[in-house]
Each structure stands twice: as structure tokens, then as C-alpha cells.
Amino acid sequence: MKDLTQGSIPKSLIAMALPMMIGMVIQTLYFIVDLYFVGQLGPAALAGLSLAGNAMFLIFSLTQILNVSTAALISHAVGAKNKTDANITFNQSMMMSSVVGTIVCIIGYLGAKTYLNFISQDTETVLMGLAYLHWFIPCMALQFIMVSISAALRGTGVVKPTMIIQTLSILVNIILSPLLISGWGSDYAMGIAGAGLASSLSVVFAVVLLCYYFIKTDKYISVDFSLWVMNVPRIKKLLVIGLPAGGEFFLLFIYMATIYWLIKPFGADAQAGFGLGSRVMQALFLPAMAIAFAAPAIAGQNFGAGNFQRVRETFTWSAIMTCSLMTIITLVCLSQTELLLTAFSTDEEVILISVIFLQVICWNFVPSGLVFTCSGLFQALGNTMPALLSTAIRLVTFIIPAFWLSKQADFQIEQLWYVSVTSICIQAAVSFYLLKSEFKKRLPIHYLTNNVTDEINKSKLIS
């Protein structure tokens, strides 16, 4: 356990974010490897990978319920020095993740074809997506166990073990992807299905290592099967905090699925171009997201300990760091767009669509950084409903104009990107306003005043 209620906040943010950032950079390499080898299979394969990959937003919406609530409750317990409470939360989270992961696996195999047919009218794209999902679904199911463990450790201020394990897992994926997709070193190339199998095998590897870590090391939290009995009050706490956060990702899933559905008349090239641009954008976001992911543990522990001024300072420093990184990424996208994309496809139409997408959508990177930071602080305060509300406003302000534009005779794909930028700017403004309101309600002003008074009195005594 690491006490985050003392010391420099910027240093704590960097110390926690750096291991996450390293892992995320390596995860970026994983995205790049998959994109590179699947991109060589043609636009239909790339579109199939993108459509199937969008299903991960649905999985993220479910894992985020456990991710946010587990980290928030455990960080509060650690701040209050209540080890028993932290272990109850952790074991209830693990129990829930096991059950939900099993259900997701079953539903995934039963509903994959229906989902793909809904958002694509290209037969080859659907077949490619199905081939990928049939091998990728185990990876999605196992995400729940990984998320529960990672969130629990993050709540205690520990990030290095999970970072190392996730990094090793991604390296396994990077090694397996070309072997299975292209058949390097063998006579059998699985194509896009190999990408799904590589992901599943790497996650199995990670889960085994995480289990070994918990068996062999001493920790603030530990697996205790005697606590794997339904604890209704604790499950309610987890859901109250986690459901709105999960709802955020569910709305993002709806947002992405809506775009795929709106552009399907333009064919596989359009869906492949959007999918490629989106994947590159998500990979570029990872370093900034590492800062935003570090903030909840720091702010959460300080909130649990009653150090409200440090909660505010955590937001300020996180916003500065996150938005600064997003500014750099924006400049890279504006100046080096083609360089970011040309390695992944030889299809000129796919590249053109991706270039236009990134050059327009990069104007929302800085507002997105503010949204990430606000969401992290909502998690730390144990109230993620404002984050859900801001995401819902973003969805509404995107979908209504987007559907109207799609019915016009001169409808062009680029119009969707401009609407998207506008909607995210609105979301950032709403998130910031709601966080200020949350601070007023949850961080008593008199506490700050008393702190200032105490400092003045100390100065007088010293004088």
C-alpha cells in the first residue's frame, strides 16, 4: 500500500502515471501490430477488425463498472486506514467479475453475427468480423478479472506489478500476432482470426501471472473465498459508483456504432478508413489517459482522509498535464497525419478518409483531455453520475445533427467529424461545470478556510 495523502501531488501523479504510460505505450505497439498485419489483408479485413473491435466499448462499459467503483471504494478505505473494508470490496468485485465474464462469453458467441449485420451491409466485412470475434471473445471475457485486480491495486497506490504483467502480456500478443495472422514460421496463416487468437492467448497469460502474484506476495488486499458470498450492501455501493461510469462507455459504444451505421452506405473503404483513424487516435490518447487514470487514486485517498485541498490540487495538476499532452498530440496529427497512417494500408481511399478524419477530429483532443480529467475526479469523489450526464449530452448533441445531415442529398462523411468536434467541446464545458458544482457540495469551503486560518496562526506564533 502506498500513502498518497502526503508529498508532492505532481510527483505522485508522474510516479503513478509513468508505469501506466509505459504499459500504454507498449499497448500502442500492440494496436499498431494488429493494424499493420490485418491492414495488409485488405479494406474488408480492416473494416471487420474495426467493427468487431468496437464491441470492446461494450465490454469496457461493463468492466468500467468494476474498474471505477473498485478503485474508488478501496482508495477511500485506504485513506481511512480500514484494511478490512478494502478486502471486502476487492473480493466482492472479484466475485462479480467472474460471473459477468462468463455471461459475456455466452452472449458474445450467440449475438456476434446479429451485431455485425446491423452495422455493416458488406458480406465480406461481416465474415471477417465474425472470424475475428470467435477467437477474440475469450479475451473480452477475461478482461473482467484483470480489471478487478488492477483497479484494486491502483486504489492502494500500487501500479507497477499490473503494469509489468500487462506489458509482458502485450509483448506476447505482439509476438503471436504476425505468427498467427501471416503464418510466420509455419505453413498455416489464420488471417484476421489469428489476431483474435493472439489477443486471447496473451490475456490468458496475464491472468495466470496475476494469480501467481497474488499467491506469492504480501499485499494490503488478498483473495479470500470466504468473502465470495453476496454482500448486497457492498454490491449496491459498487453499482452506485460504477454504473454511471459504465454508462459512459456504453454511450461511447452507441456513438461509435452510430457512426459505423451512418457511413455503411459508403462501403467497406469508409468503415475501414474510420476504423483505422479511430484506432490511431485511441493509441495516441494513451499517454494522456495514464495521467487521468492516476488522478482518481490520489484524489480518492485524500478525499477519504479529508484532505480536501489536495483533492482540488490533484485536479489542477492532472488537467495541466493531460491537456498539455493532448496539445502535443494535436500538433503531431496536424503535421504528420499521413506518416501515422500509411504503414497500415495501401488502399488510397482508406488512407484519404483516415487523413481527413484525424485532421478534423484532432481539434477535440484538448477538450477530451479535460473530459478525462473531470471523469477521474468524479470517480475519486465516488459520484460518477455527472460524467454519465456529460457523455449523454455529447451523444445527443452528436446524434441529432448527424441523423439530420445523413438525410440530406449532399451528405458527406467529413460532416460527421465536425459535428463530433462540436459535441465533445460541449461535453468538456458541461463536465467542468458539473465538477465545480461537485467540489462545492463535497469539499467544504470552511475546511479550506480553517486551513488558511491555521497557517496564519502558525505564522503569528513563529513571529
pLDDT tens track for 142-186: 888 888 888 888 787 777 787 788 788 888 888 888 888 877 766
pLDDT band for position 361 (cuts 50, 70, 90): very high
Domain ranges for the chain: 9-462
* Per-residue model confidence (pLDDT) at position 203: 86
pTM (two decimals): 0.68
Q: How many CB atoms are located within 10 Å of the residue 444 CB?
A: 12
Higher pLDDT, 53 or 322: 322
Rounded to whole angstroms, the Cα distance separating 193 from 177 reads 10
Structure confidence at residue 449 as a pLDDT band (50, 70, 90):
very low
Q: Does residue 318 contact residue 292 with C-beta atoms inside 8 Å?
A: yes
Cell numbers for 303: 478525499
How do residues 275-310 score in pLDDT, each as one tens digit? 888 888 877 887 788 888 788 878 888 887 788 888
Find the length of the chain: 463
Task: Evaluate if residue 452 carries a pLDDT over 50.
Answer: no
User: Is the model's pLDDT at 415 over the cut of 90?
Assistant: yes
Rounded distance between C-alpha atoms, residue 146 and residue 144, angstroms = 5
Cα–Cα distance measured from residue 180 to residue 201, given in angstroms and rounded to the nearest whole number: 11
Cα 386 to Cα 375: distance, rounded to the nearest angstrom: 8
Q: Which three cell numbers stand for residue 80?
A: 481511512
Mean pLDDT of the chain: 82
Locate the DSSP E strands across 363-446: none
Side-chain-facing half-sphere of 140: CA atoms under 13 Å: 27
Rounded CA separation 205/174 (Å): 13
* Residue 456 pLDDT class (50, 70, 90 cuts): very low
**Residue the block writes with cell 496529427:** 333
Asked if 160 and 17 touch (Cβ cutoff 8 Å), the reply is no
Question: Which amino acid, 368?
Answer: S
- Give the DSSP H/E element, type plus range, for residue 293: helix 268-305
Residues 379, 245 contacting (CB under 8 angstroms): yes
